[in-house]
Structure formats: structure tokens, C-alpha cells
Homo-oligomer: A and B are copies of this chain.
Amino acid sequence: MTLSHVRILGSGLIGTSIGLGLALKGVGVTMVDNDPRAQALAGDLVKSPSSAPVDLVIFATPLGAVKSLLDREYATNPESAFIDIGSVKSKVKVEVSTSAIPTTRFLPTHPMAGREMGGAESARADLFQGRAWVIDSQGIDGDVRAKAHELIEILGAHLVDLDSSEHDKAVALISHLPQLVSSLLAKQLIGGEASWLELAGAGLRDTTRIAASDSKLWREIIAANRGALEPLLKSLHSDLGTLINSLDDESSIAKLIEEGQEGRARIPGKHGGKAREYTYLPIVIEDKPGQLAALFDECASASVNVEDLSIEHSPGQFTGLITLALSDIDAAKLSEHLKSHGWSVHSPRQ
């Protein structure tokens, strides 16, 4: 380990979550915030003091606050490496280039994690576990990159190296557009009867969850990334107009729903990586301890590799349904094997 003392500017969700994760691994952390209450809370949560020299400064403030802190932080910690965690990368690169910090000492980064609840209160050490953490490492000193790599590894994220302008286009599509769509949808609820909203189910809750996000953060993010967002919003506007004009045409509606399915399917599953084509094998089992183990023993003796699985059962239900995701060949092999051993296997789905 080389990181010994990390200075985190900004004691919000991301900054404090980083602090918690580092503290767990024994890295010294200093939490800073211009709000004394937030700084005190974060410091108390993280509790990992250090008197060692600062070897990494993390700008975890809102986008608009970075610029004014760059010169001060470089003057205080001239030997340190510097990174930020902002949602838009092109902007901070420009700001650093006009600051005292040499551009080779400042690595733009963006952890792809967040919650709709902000603040140190919502922080959690495992916020970054399994998430992508984008960096733009071109032209950055090796020791700065090494410290960032170590940080990302400690926090359980995986590193993705991406040019800043490419990053900004990506997040416009996968993060900023969904945020605006969720807000626009939630806004429409203002006009509904309260009794209607009592009927709301998981669909409305999920689609509007991120509409609860902080407006101070998002006003900056959207404005900073408007160049990448505008064509996406215009395309959506046009598609919505088309829909309004074809509400009585079932085949047009079906086409939109199918295009939505196609887009949705492009999001990598739990496995991430390239979307893989699995065959899904449904198996009805008795809902009691030992059944899953017995089933996986059968998988092992049939030498098949279970890629993913889901369990459906309800409290008090006598049977459970396990759906195994398998390769075509493994699904056929396992289906035969299980049937010959008395399991209740149903027809596979693609």
C-alpha cells in the first residue's frame, strides 16, 4: 500500500463514501467541507485521522466549487496527486489547465455510483463495489495514476480509461438523460388527484426514483454537459411527437415498446460485459432448505456452468421456481439430466 493520507474536499455522499471505504482499509483520511456540520458528521463517520503528509487530494465537491479550490490546494500540498470525481469531465480539464496545478498532476475521474439521497448521512463504504470508475489518464504522471488505481482498487470498483469528451457523451446518454426524463415524468404527477397516486405501483416508483435527486448538483451537471445532451433530448422530443400522433395505431405503439425493449436489452446484466445470449431453464422445487444445494450438486454432476439464476417464491408458498441462465448446450444437457433424476423441469425460454 502506498496511500497513507487522503484529503477529501467535500463531505457529501461521494466524498464521505470514499472516506469510509479508505478508513476501513486503514488509510488516513481528512474530510473537509465548507459546511461545518457536514464536515463534522463526515469526520465522525470516517474517523481515520492521520498526521502523515497528504499524498492524494480528492475534489469531491459540486462541479462549480472545484475551480476556486485548485490553487489553494496545490499551494498547501504541492507534492500530492490530485483527482476529482465530477460527473462532467471536459469542464474540469479546462479549469485545471488555467490553474496552478500542472495538468500532469491532476487526473480527471468519475465513479459511476450514486444515490438519489445525498449527504454524508447516505454515505456507505461499499457504494463503489463492483461499479465502473472512469479515469482519463492521457498525459498524467505515473505516480498520480498509480495512486488513483490504488484508490479504485481499495473501494472495489473497476477502472475504465476513457477520453473525457467520450465520457461526457456516454454519461449524457446513460445518466443525465434518465435524470431529466425522470424529473419530467415526476413533474406530470403534480396535476393528478391524490387518490390516483395512492394506486401507484413499482413502475411509477422506479421511473421517478431519481427525480428526488438534488437540484443544486443537477443544475450544474446538466448545464455543464448541455452540448452532449441537446441532440439526445431533441431525438426524444421527436419520438414523443410521433407517439402522440399515432396513439390509435397499435402497430406503431408496439414498435415503440419493442424499440424500448431493444434499448433496454443493451444495458449489460448483472454480469456486465457484452450482453450474452442465455437460455433460461425454469425448475419448480420444493421450498425448503437443501433444495438449492441439491440442485447445484446436479449442475455440478452434469458439468454445466450456471451463468445466472433467479429465485421466485413467496412467503408461505409450498413451491419455488428457480430459473437458471445457461448456454444453449448446457441447458439441453441439464434439462435431460434433471428430468432423468426426477426434477420438475419446464420448457426453456430463450
Contacts and interface: CB of A to CB of B under 8 A. Distances in A.
A336 interface: no
Contacts of A185: 177-178, 181, 236, 260, 263
A272 B202 contact: yes
Interface stretch (A2-10, A74-82, A92-100, A296-304): A296-304
A41 B346 contact: yes
Given A126-B315, A186-B260, A307-B311, 10 more contacts: A24-B317, A121-B323, A127-B314, A174-B197, A187-B259, A213-B261, A214-B257, A233-B244, A272-B317, A292-B296
Contacts of A299: 289, 292-293
Given A219-B254, A247-B222, A260-B187, A268 B198 contact: yes
Interface residues of A, number: 158
A130 B280 CA distance: 17
B276 A315 contact: yes
A179 interface: yes
Given A134-B199, A198-B273, A268-B198, A226 B247 contact: yes
A303 B315 contact: no
A305 interface: yes
Given A174-B204, A180-B256, A261 B197 contact: no
B316 A24 contact: yes
Q: Which 7 A-B pairs have CB atoms at the shortest separation, nearest pair first?
A: A183-B260, A293-B296, A189-B263, A170-B196, A293-B300, A186-B263, A211-B260
A174 B186 contact: no
A300 B103 CA distance: 56
